[in-house]
Amino acid sequence: MPDYDAELNAIGLPCPLPVLRIRKALQTLEGGQTLYVVATDPDSLKDVEAFTRITENELLEAREEESKYHFVIRKGMTPK
């Protein structure tokens, strides 16, 4: 598994908690650092995509594997 600057386990959290936890976790990172997230909420796929788009963070990876959703997000260089 690649090295990430931070990891977030959002397994079992219902919408909108995964995105809220992602927002909080990204606040602890510097611009350009990466966050790995795993979630089980089926809505997280579209929610995380929308969140990264409107916050100018970069969604590097989004995939579903064995009913889990895996994301890699790079924090944007400008504060949002």
pLDDT in tens, 10-45: 999 999 999 999 999 999 999 999 999 999 999 999
36 in any annotated domain: yes
79 in any annotated domain: no
Mean pLDDT for the stretch of residues 59-69? 96
User: Which residue do the tokens 């969604």 mark?
Assistant: 59
Share of the chain above pLDDT 90, in %: 90
1 in any annotated domain: no
| Residue 47 belongs to domain with CATH number | 3.30.110.40
> Alpha-carbon distance 44 to 60, whole Å?
15
41 in any annotated domain: yes
Residue 21 structural domain:
6-74
Would you state the pLDDT for residue 77? 87
26 in any annotated domain: yes
Q: Please report which confidence band the pLDDT of residue 74 belongs to, taking 50, 70 and 90 as the band edges.
A: very high
Is the model's pLDDT at 78 over the cut of 90? no
80 in any annotated domain: no
Number of domains in the chain: 1
Which of 15, 17, 45, 62 is flagged as catalytic? 15
| Number of helices followed by number of strands (H, E) in the chain | 2, 4
Antiparallel, parallel or unpaired: β 68-74 and 58-65? antiparallel
Give catalytic status of residue 15 as yes or no.
yes
